[in-house]
Amino acid sequence: MLKIGETVIELIKGDITDLEVDVIVNAANSSLKMGGGVAGAILRKGGRVIQEECDKIGYCPVGGAVITSAGNLKARYVIHAVGPRMGEGDEDRKLRSATLSALELADKHRVESIAFPAISTGIFGYPKDKCAEVMLTAIIDYLKSKKTGLKKIILCLYDDETYRIFEETLKRKSP
Can you give the CATH number for the domain in which 12 is found? Answer: 3.40.220.10
Range of the structural domain that residue 122 is part of:
2-173
pLDDT in the model for residue 120: 95
Q: pTM of the full predicted structure? A: 0.95
pLDDT (mean) for 131-151? 95
Weakest-pLDDT range from 72-76, 94-98, 120-124, 131-135: 120-124
pLDDT in the model for residue 170: 96
pLDDT band at 74 (very low <50, low <70, confident <90, very high): very high
Residue 89: what are its φ and ψ, rounded to 5°?
A: 100, 145
Q: Can you tell me the distance from the alpha carbon of 70 to that of 79, in angstroms, rounded to the nearest whole number?
A: 9
pLDDT in the model for residue 37: 83
Q: What letter represents residue 131's amino acid?
A: C
Residues in the chain: 175
pLDDT in the model for residue 89: 95
Q: Would you tell me how many other CB atoms lie within 10 Å of the CB of residue 47? A: 15
pLDDT (mean) for 100-119? 97
pLDDT in the model for residue 175: 74
> How many structural domains are present in the chain?
1
pLDDT above 70 coverage of the chain, percent: 100
Please tell me which residue, 167 or 1, carries the higher pLDDT value. 167
pLDDT (mean) for 23-37? 93
Buried b (16+ CB within 10 A) or exposed e, 153-167: bbbbbbeeebbebbe
pLDDT (mean) for 85-92? 95
